A and B are shown apart, each in its own frame.
Chain A
Amino acid sequence: MDKSTFDQRRVINGPMHHSVRHDSAHKHVTGSADYIDDMPEPAGTLHGALGMTDRAHAEIIEMDLSAVRAAPGVVCVLTARDMPYSNDISPSHMDDEPVLADGVVQFHGQPAFAVIAETRDIARRAARLARITYRDLPHITDAQQAIDAGGTLVTPPLTLKRGQPDDALADAPRRLRGQMRIGGQDHFYLEGHIAMAIPGEDDDVTVWSSTQHPSEVQHMVSHVLGVASNAVTVQVRRMGGGFGGKETQSNQFAALAAVAAKKLNRAVKFRPDRDEDMTATGKRHDFLVDYDVGFDDDGRIHAVIANYAARCGYSSDLSGPVTDRALFHADNAYFYPHVRLTSQPLKTNTVSNTAFRGFGGPQGMVGAERMIEEIAYALGRDPLDIRKANFYGEAGSKRDLTPYHQRVEDNIIGKLVAELEETSDYQARRAAILAFNASSSVIRKGIALTPVKFGISFTATWYNQAGALVHIYQDGSVHLNHGGTEMGQGLNIKIAQVLAEAFQIDIDRIKITATTTGKVPNTSATAASSGSDLNGMAACDAARQIKERLVAFAVERWSVAADTVQFIAHHVKVGDELIPFDAFIKAAYLARVQLSAAGFYKTPKIHWDRAAGQGTPFYYFSYGAAVSEVSIDTLTGEYMVERTDILHDVGHSLNPAIDIGQVEGAFVQGMGWLTTEELWWDAKGRLRTHAPSTYKIPVASDRPKIFNVKLAEWSQNKEPTIGRSKAVGEPPFMLPISVLEALSMAVASVADYRHCPRLDTPATPERILMAVERLRAHA
C-alpha cells in the first residue's frame, strides 16, 4: 500500500475496493509460504505411492503384490478390500468411483493398489514391482467412438428448449450445419495433489489436503473409514493452484492417506509424481458439438439446435453439472428466438473428467461463437457485425430470454463491446489487416473481437451458502476464518478487506488462518467463481453481529443513542468521544460482550428445475470482451499473438490489482487451452501428454506481445453483492476465444474469407497448417 494515502491515519490500510497486495506475497517470494509438502512431518511419517494399471479397460485376473510387499522399507500395501467401510468416493453419490480399482480397470493408469513405505522413493519404486494379470476388454477413448458404440452415459442428460426450433429452422432463410471438436485441458496446477493424514484418538484423523473442497474431503474420508464426519478434520492453508482440479480430485489421495494413517497409527503422506497426477486425475471435458443454425441475410439467428457430447471418462464425477453448464452457455451473449440444446455426457475408458475453470461454460461458448463465425463467413461479413446483430436486448425488450427461461436483466454487453471496439481501434486495424493479407503471401494476420456473458452461481442451488467465523481478541486483533480456500486467487485478502472495512481497522490487524472443517462446517467448494461473493457476505454477516453487540454495549455504557455510535478509522466514535478501537474492544471484553460470531450467507433469488429446464439458476451475469490480433505462417502453421485488448466487468472491484491478475491469468490459461495444450491418447488408450515435456501450457513469450487489460470501472453489480462487486475467477477464461477466431480469420484469408475454416481446438500449428491446406484446395 502506498503510505501517502494514510492521511494521518484518518483512513485505514486495506479497505474494500483498494489494490491491496496478496497477503502471502512476501512469503511467496522468499519461499517461506508453506505448502503441505513443506510442513514439518510428524515423527515416523510414512509415504504412499499409487500402484497404477496399464490397461484402458480390462478385468484384473490376478494381482501379485508379493514383490511389492517384500521390498525393503515397504510397510503395507492397500487394495480395494482394505478400505474399512467403503471403496467409493463418487462425489455425485452414484457409487461409480472406486478409491482403488476393484476387479475391473476402467482407464489406463487407474490406481489398483497403494504402497505405504518409509520413504516416498521406496514407495514409488516398490509400486512398479507388482505383477498384474489382465483379461483385456474393448476400450473406448473418445466421444465419437462412444457415440458409435451406442453412447453409454455416465449421468442423465439435459435438454433446454424454448419455442419451436424445428419449425423455425425449417423456415429460416438460411441454414448451416456443422461439427466442432473442442479439446480438453489439464489443470497443471504447479503444486500437484498432496494429502497428509495424522491419526488421532478414537476414530479421529486430521487430514491436510490440497483441496478446494475441504468439506467434501471430510465426508469422503469419513465415508471410506466408516466414521462420523465429526471424527475427521480437514485443513488447507493454501494450494499451489487449483483451477477446479482440486474440487473432487483430492478425495482419493486424502482417503488413501487417512486409511493408511488409521491402519498403521502413523502419519502418512501421499504426493503423486507429476506424471502420476496427470494420468490419474480428471481434466476439462472435451466436447463434440453438432450444430444446426438457421439465420437470415442480415445475420440474425432464427433458431439453433445443438448437441453437446462430452468425453466424461469412466465415471460421473461432476460431469452432470459440467455438461449442464455447457448448455447454459451455448448462447453466450446471443438471443436465440427458438432453441433446443441437448447434452450427451458419454462414458469412455479414460480418466474421469472433472471441474475446470468455467466448468463446461467455455465449451458451450466456443460452440456459440463457431455458429457466429459460420454465419459471418457464409454472408461475407465481419463476425463482429453478426455478434452485434444477435446480442441479447435490454431487459423487457423481448430479446432477453435465455434458453433456460431466465431473463437477462443486467445486460451491459452492448456498451462494453462498443467501448472496446473504439479503444482498441478495431475497425481501422481490421481494415489494415485485410490490406496486409491481400499483399502478403506467407504471413497472414487475423483479428477478432469476442464477447463473454457468464452466469454466476452454482447450478446446484444448495451450494450457494457460506459461513465465516470471526473473533476479536482482547487486544483488538481480529482472527478470520471462512469456508473458502486460498489457491492463489486472493480470496483471503478480499475477505480481510471486507472485515477491515467493516471494523475500520488496518488490514494487518486481521489474521487469516487455514481453512478447517472444525471452524466452519458444511462448506461448499471454492469454485464457480463464488468464493468472494459467498464468503465475503458471510464474513460481513459475522462482522455485523459483533458490531451490533458493540453498539449495544456503547449505548448502555455511555448512555448515547445507537445512531451516534460509529466505526471510523481505528476508532469507535461514541457520541462526541473518539475511542481507539483496541481500547474500545478491551472495554467491551471487560463488560462481557461476546466478541466472536459465526456469519452465514445464502444467495437469494435463485432456483432451478432441471427436469423442466427452467428457472433462475444465476444470481447475475458477468460480462467481458476481448480483441486479439494474430499472425500465422502459412508454410508451417506457427503463429503469434500480437496484441490483445480486454475490457472486463467485475462490478465494483473489491481489489482491482487482484482482479486484473485474475483476468490476465485466465486469459493466458484459456489461450493455452485453445492453442497449444493438447491431450493425446494413443491406440492403447494411454494418455501420452502427461507432463510438461509433452503437454505445453503457455510460457511468458506466448502471452500477447501487447496486452492491455482494463476493468469496466463504470460497472456496478445490479444485485446487492459484497460491495456491488462481481465474481472474477472464471468469466475471463473465455476471453481468448478472440485468439481462436483471429487465427481462424488469418486462415480464412487464404481462400478470400469465403469459407469458415472450422478450426478444431486446440488450434496447434498442425491444425492451422492443415486448415490452410484444406482452404487452399477450395480457393
Chain B
Amino acid sequence: MTDTKAALRFILNDADVVIEALSPTATLLDYLRLERRLTGTKEGCAEGDCGACTVLIGRLHNGQLRYETVNACIRFVGSLQATHVVTVEHLSPREGTLHPVQQAMVDYHGSQCGFCTPGFIMSLYGLWLSNEAPGRAEIERALQGNLCRCTGYEPIIRAAEAIAASRPDALFDPLLSLRTDITNRLTALDQRETIRIGRPDHCLMVPGTVDDLATILDEHPEATVVAGSTDVGLWVTKQMRALNPLVFINNLSELQRISHSEDGITLGAGVTYATAFETLSQGYPALRNLLNRLGGEQVRSMGTIGGNIANGSPIGDTPPALIALGASITLRSAHGRRTMLLEDFFIDYGKQDRAKNEFVESIFVPVLEPDARFAVYKISKRRDEDISALCGAFHLVLRDNIVTSIRIAFGGMAATPKRAPSVEAALIGQRWTQDTINAALNAFAEDYQPLSDWRASAEYRLLTARNLLTRFYLESLGHDVQLRRFAEVAHG
C-alpha cells in the first residue's frame, strides 16, 4: 500500500480545515452545528429526504471546480477530503447584505416558518451557479429534494424565476469571485496517499488508489465501503449501527471514469447518478425520465451507480433498466477481477454474488441495437423524490413485427430486481399485436409474487406491472399515453 496520512483536509467556507481525530461515522451536519456552531444548516429528517440540511460541496473534476448540493445529514465528514464545503453562512458574509438568491426569496415572500429556507437557499444557489437561465422544469427539478410545509412552493418558484430573469453582478458572489483561489487550494489537497484516522480497531480510511482499496478490503473484509452514503448514512442516523472500519471511496477518480466503445459504455462504480445519466441518456434517451425522478438533486449528486447496485436493494431505481439493457458488472478484489451479467449478481433479498473482499468496480452497458425499443417506467406514490413502488424496464427488438428479442425487468416486484422469463417467453417469436400482449399479461403472475407494504399493495403492483406492458405496447404504436408535467423534459 502507498503511504498513509493521518489527517483529513478540506475547506469550510473560507477556512482551511485539518482533522486528525474523528469518529468514523461523524456526519457533516453534526460537525457543522455542534463543532463549528454553524447553525444555519438545519436537521429536518436526518435521512436525506427533506433538504433542510442542504449545503454545497465543491470538488475538482478533471481539474474543473464543480459545486453540487448534498444533504449534510447523511454525508460523513470522512468523505470530505479535498472538497470545499459551503454553508448558508458563506453567502452573505457582510452584515446587512443579502446574496441575490436570498434577496429574491425575501422579496417574493418565499419563507414562512423559515426552517426549510436555508436548504432552499442552497439548492437555489446551486442552480444559480450552474444554470444562468433555468426554466420552470429545471427549477422544480433542482428543488425536488427540498420539502417546505408552509408556502406551497409557489412563492419560492416565483423567487427562482426572478433570480433567473435578472441575473445580478456575479462578481460579488463568494464562489465565483474566488474560483481560481479555491481551485488552487483544492489542487494542493489532491491526494494519492491513503488517509487513516483513528485506532486500528476504530477508524476510517480514505484510500488514495483503487489498488489501495482492494488491499484494505482484503485486510478488512468487515469494512463498510461508503460511496455516496445515501444508504449507509441512514444506517448511522436511524439504525445507529456501529460500523467499523469505514472506507470512503468517493474521491477515487479511477472509479469515476466513463469510457465509450463501439460495444457500449463502461461506467466506473463511483460515477454519481447525475453523471451516469448525463452519459447514459445520450445513448438511451428513455433513461432521462428515470433520472428526473430518482431522488432529489442532492441524492443524485451523492449516490453512485455502483452503490445502487452493490447494496442489493430490491427497489433500487437503476438495476431494472440496466438488467433490461443487458448490463454486466465487474467485481474487483486484491486477487483479481470477475465479470458477470448484472441480473446474476442479485441472488436473494440481501444477498448478492459478492465476496466480502470484493467491490463493484465498473458497469458495462451494451449499445442498443439500431432497431431496438427501450423504455423504463417508475411508479411511486409521489411522482418526484420517492422510492419506487415498482419500476419496470422493457427492451424489445422487432423484425417484421415479430419479437426477436425481449428483455423485461422489474424492481419492487420480488426480493431482488428480477427479469420476467414467463412474460418474455410468451412474447418471443410472436407478432407484436394487442392479442399477443393480452396473452402475455397473465404470465406476470408466474414471474412475480410481490408483497404488500406501505408503498403499494401486491394487487396494485401486479396490475400495474401488467398495465406497463400495455403502456409499452401503446407507445410502440406511437401513442402518447404518459402524463408529463412539462412538454420538454429538462436535461441535467
Residues B152 and A697 in contact, CB atoms below 8 Å apart: no
Instruction: Report A758-776 CB contacts with B as 1/0, cut-off 8 Å.
Output: 0000001110011001000
Q: How far is the CA of A26 from the CA of B95 in the complex (A)?
A: 11
CB proximity to B under 8 Å, residues A176-192: 187-192
Measured between beta carbons, the chain B residues less than 8 angstroms from A665 are: 112, 149-152
Interface residues contributed by chain B, number (CB under 8 Å): 88
Other 4 A-B pairs with CB < 8 A, given A190-B44, A769-B464, A770-B460: A441-B481, A489-B112, A664-B151, A699-B153
Query: Which residue of the partner chain, among B49, B106, B240, B456, contacts A766 with CB atoms under 8 Å?
Result: B456
Question: Among A34-42, A406-414, A510-518, which stretch is in contact with chain B?
Answer: A34-42
Residues B474 and A442 in contact, CB atoms below 8 Å apart: yes
Measured between beta carbons, the chain B residues less than 8 angstroms from A658 are: 109
Residues A25 and B42 in contact, CB atoms below 8 Å apart: no
Measured between beta carbons, the chain A residues less than 8 angstroms from B382 are: 676, 696, 698-699, 702
**With A638-B483, A669-B152, A703-B152: A241-B115 Cβ-Cβ less than 8 Å:** yes
Residues B121 and A29 in contact, CB atoms below 8 Å apart: yes
Closest chain A residue to B390, Cβ basis: A636
Residues B45 and A692 in contact, CB atoms below 8 Å apart: yes
Residues A239 and B113 in contact, CB atoms below 8 Å apart: yes
Decide if B344 is an interface residue (CB 8 Å cutoff).
no
Decide if A544 is an interface residue (CB 8 Å cutoff).
no
Q: How far is the CA of A654 from the CA of B135 in the complex (A)?
A: 34
Contacts across chains A and B counted by CB atoms under 8 Å:
261
Which residue, of B33, B52, B483, has the highest number of chain A Cβ atoms within 10 A?
B483
Instruction: Report A639-670 CB contacts with B as 1/0, cut-off 8 Å.
Output: 11000000000000000011011001111110
Decide if B168 is an interface residue (CB 8 Å cutoff).
no
Q: How far is the CA of A116 from the CA of B94 in the complex (A)?
A: 40
Q: How far is the CA of A635 from the CA of B454 in the complex (A)?
A: 20
Query: Which residue of the partner chain, among A125, A489, A696, contacts B381 with CB atoms under 8 Å?
Result: A696
Q: How far is the CA of A192 from the CA of B46 in the complex (A)?
A: 11
**With A32-B40, A124-B240, A773-B463: A633-B383 Cβ-Cβ less than 8 Å:** no
Decide if B416 is an interface residue (CB 8 Å cutoff).
no
Q: How far is the CA of A769 from the CA of B453 in the complex (A)?
A: 17
Decide if A152 is an interface residue (CB 8 Å cutoff).
no
Q: Specify the main secondary structure of chain B where it touches its partner.
A: loop
Residues B454 and A443 in contact, CB atoms below 8 Å apart: no
**With A487-B113, A766-B456: A667-B92 Cβ-Cβ less than 8 Å:** no
Residues A25 and B111 in contact, CB atoms below 8 Å apart: yes
Residues B98 and A190 in contact, CB atoms below 8 Å apart: no
Residues B385 and A699 in contact, CB atoms below 8 Å apart: yes
Residues A30 and B454 in contact, CB atoms below 8 Å apart: no
Query: Which residue of the partner chain, among B113, B454, B460, B468, contacts A240 with CB atoms under 8 Å?
Result: B113
Q: How far is the CA of A28 from the CA of B101 in the complex (A)?
A: 12
Q: How far is the CA of A33 from the CA of B52 in the complex (A)?
A: 14
Residues B144 and A701 in contact, CB atoms below 8 Å apart: yes
Q: Specify the main secondary structure of chain A where it touches its partner.
A: loop
CB proximity to B under 8 Å, residues A397-445: 441-443
Query: Which residue of the partner chain, among B38, B45, B485, contacts A640 with CB atoms under 8 Å?
Result: B485
Minimal beta-carbon separation of A352 from chain B (angstroms): 21
Measured between beta carbons, the chain B residues less than 8 angstroms from A697 are: 147, 149
Query: Which residue of the partner chain, among B152, B386, B481, contacts A443 with CB atoms under 8 Å?
Result: B481
Decide if B116 is an interface residue (CB 8 Å cutoff).
yes
Residues B481 and A696 in contact, CB atoms below 8 Å apart: no
Closest chain A residue to B479, Cβ basis: A442
Decide if A680 is an interface residue (CB 8 Å cutoff).
yes
Residues B485 and A636 in contact, CB atoms below 8 Å apart: no
Q: How far is the CA of A640 from the CA of B484 in the complex (A)?
A: 8
Which residue, of B143, B152, B154, B384, has the highest number of chain A Cβ atoms within 10 A?
B152
CB proximity to A under 8 Å, residues B370-395: 377, 379, 381-387, 389
Q: How far is the CA of A769 from the CA of B461 in the complex (A)?
A: 11
Measured between beta carbons, the chain B residues less than 8 angstroms from A640 are: 383, 483, 485
Minimal beta-carbon separation of B319 from chain A (angstroms): 19
Residues A21 and B109 in contact, CB atoms below 8 Å apart: yes
Closest chain B residue to A664, Cβ basis: B152
Measured between beta carbons, the chain B residues less than 8 angstroms from A275 are: 238
Residues A661 and B155 in contact, CB atoms below 8 Å apart: yes
Residues B454 and A680 in contact, CB atoms below 8 Å apart: yes
Measured between beta carbons, the chain B residues less than 8 angstroms from A37 are: 33, 39, 43
Residues B113 and A238 in contact, CB atoms below 8 Å apart: yes
Minimal beta-carbon separation of B243 from chain A (angstroms): 13
Decide if A128 is an interface residue (CB 8 Å cutoff).
yes
Question: Among B83-91, B282-290, B401-409, which stretch is in contact with chain A?
Answer: B83-91
Residues B46 and A701 in contact, CB atoms below 8 Å apart: no
Decide if B304 is an interface residue (CB 8 Å cutoff).
no
